[in-house]
């Protein structure tokens, strides 16, 4: 399981022109589920995301966790793409939708995240804060 995590002032997901989810300050999580992922990865990723300390404390150092801020989590199978054999990514490492969707939903539930629409053509907008971007792989 892989995640690209961005600290944001705001983020939103639109599907077919309609906003389906939006948040204020918090984290935008792009989550990729690999074919061998299971409950152990769900648990580890959830703990990492909730405990991630990327928000400034009173001294301006990145040492505070999420606290009362929000999370928007968007499924992103392309994070499992492999470009080692050329310029067109291969996605054999990505979990099949029937495996990935329940695991994605479980992570979202565990971290109390708003969601995109699994498998939809989404337009994701965000206002980065920092910018701060972290890659997590469990």
* Both structure tokens of 129: 């804060």
Confirm whether 77 is a catalytic residue. yes
The residue from 76, 83, 91, 118 that is catalytic is: 76
- What would the DSSP string read from start to end of the chain? -EEEEEEEEEEEEEETTEEEEEESSEEEEEEE-BTT--HHHHHHHHHHHHH---EE-TTS-EEE--TT-EEEEEE-GGGG-B-TTSSS-B-TTBPPHHHHHHHHHHHHHHTT-EE--TTS-EEEEEEEEEEEEEEEE-
Residue from 77, 83, 118, 133 carrying the catalytic annotation: 77
- Our answer to whether residue 118 is catalytic in this structure is no
**Active-site residue among 55, 78, 83, 133?**
78
Q: Is 6 a catalytic residue?
A: no
What are the residue numbers of the active site? Answer: 76-78
């Amino acid at each position: 399981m892989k995640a690209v995590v961005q600290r944001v002032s705001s983020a939103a997901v639109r599907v077919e022109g309609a906003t389906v989810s939006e948040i204020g300050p918090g984290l935008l999580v792009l989550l990729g589920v690999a074919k061998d992922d299971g409950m152990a990865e769900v648990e580890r990723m959830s703990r990492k995301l909730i405990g991630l300390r990327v928000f400034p404390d009173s001294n301006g150092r990145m040492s505070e966790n999420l606290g009362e801020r929000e999370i928007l989590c968007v499924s992103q199978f392309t994070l499992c793409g492999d470009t080692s054999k050329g310029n067109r990514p291969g996605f054999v490492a990505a979990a099949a939708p029937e495996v990935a969707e329940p695991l994605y939903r479980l992570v979202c539930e565990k971290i109390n995240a708003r969601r995109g629409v699994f498998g939809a053509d989404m337009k994701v907008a965000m206002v980065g804060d920092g910018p701060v971007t972290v890659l997590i792989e469990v």
